[in-house]
Amino acid sequence: MISLIAFDLDGTLAESKQPLKDTMGEALADLLAVANVAVISGGDWPQFQKQVASRLPARADLKKLWLMPTTGTKLYTHKGSDWQVVYAELFSDDEKTKILEAFDASLEATGFKPEKTWGERIEDRGSQITFSALGQEAPIAEKEHWDPDFAKRKVIQADLRTRLPELSINMGGATSIDITQKGVDKAYGLKKLRDASGIPLEQMMFIGDAIFPGGNDYPAKELGLETVRVKDPDGTLAAIAGIVACLK
Ligand SMILES: [Mg+2]
């Protein structure tokens, strides 16, 4: 018997970085009436608040909703009238300093210092540090032609790996590099959810748009969960309607 449905966010519940549509908010409220629901994604809490928490109708049973920013290194649940942190695995100040110094040294050593940048280049998400080569506010057109084939970032990544061998260093969006503790992926987040909720993995189902080898939802399948691969949020709406009909 399935008692918890876990979802990826971008490309699954919403378009990339966009708020849930009203129809999705209503569908999740229907689902929360019959099951626990979790959302797990690489974005940080402010992004979850904007995309998910603020988009659910008043009737949604928030007690059964588990929100897992930064790939499950943080967990938020709704207690009383507010969202509260259950846990957050943060880098220590020493680790952070070391990471920032490594970035500086790496850019210097590899020579990939762009002439122009837009906004902050380093985003500290507590348990994940994200480097955006051109800055977080860089125009999409600039981002698209900076490193379309990952060639520059592969060089920076290789250099960073020698400086920070104990951490996980991966290429993210168009210009970014993410640094996390080793072993952090959606399978890691789902195991943390099992421990925090007491719901066994056999009772969880995972729905995402990147359930294929190399996709960031694939670890959920490798962990042995029942999975449903969707193409887009419309596919997710159809899947939710089917699950609600079965569980009700
Ligand atoms: Mg996705």
CA of 80 to the centre of ligand 1 (A): 30
99-124 average pLDDT score: 89
CA of 217 to the centre of ligand 1 (A): 7
CA of 208 to the centre of ligand 1 (A): 6
Query: Alpha-carbon distance 115 to 173, whole Å?
Result: 20
Nearest to 6 by CA among 49, 46, 35: 35
For the stretch 136-176, pLDDT in tens is 888 988 888 888 888 898 899 999 999 999 998 887 777 88
Query: Alpha-carbon distance 104 to 53, whole Å?
Result: 36
Could you tell me the two tokens for 169?
Answer: 């260093």
CA of 163 to the centre of ligand 1 (A): 30
CA of 110 to the centre of ligand 1 (A): 31
Query: Which residue has 């399948």 as its token pair?
Result: 221
Query: How far lies 60's CA from each of 44, 86, 112, 164, in Å?
Result: 22, 20, 48, 43
CA of 13 to the centre of ligand 1 (A): 8
Q: What are phi and psi of 161, to 5 degrees?
A: -65, -30
CA of 14 to the centre of ligand 1 (A): 9
Give the pLDDT band of residue 130 (cuts 50, 70, 90): confident
Nearest to 138 by CA among 147, 128, 126, 129: 147
CA of 57 to the centre of ligand 1 (A): 23
Query: Which residue has 């195991």 as its token pair?
Result: 191
Could you tell me the two tokens for 233?
Answer: 């949020």
CB 52 within 8 A of CB 9: yes
Under DSSP, is residue 244 helix (H, G, I), strand (E, B) or coil? helix
222-240 average pLDDT score: 97
For the stretch 80-111, pLDDT in tens is 889 999 999 999 999 999 999 999 899 889 99
CA of 9 to the centre of ligand 1 (A): 6
Give the pLDDT band of residue 196 (cuts 50, 70, 90): very high
CA of 26 to the centre of ligand 1 (A): 20
Under DSSP, is residue 21 helix (H, G, I), strand (E, B) or coil? coil
Give the residue ranges of DSSP H helices in the chain: 22-32, 45-51, 93-110, 140-146, 151-163, 186-197, 218-222, 233-247
Q: Is the pLDDT of residue 42 over 90?
A: no
Query: Alpha-carbon distance 205 to 191, whole Å?
Result: 13
Predicted confidence at residue 147, as pLDDT, reads 87
Q: Is 71 left (phi over 0), alpha (psi -120 to 50) or beta?
A: left
CB 41 within 8 A of CB 216: no
CA of 156 to the centre of ligand 1 (A): 25
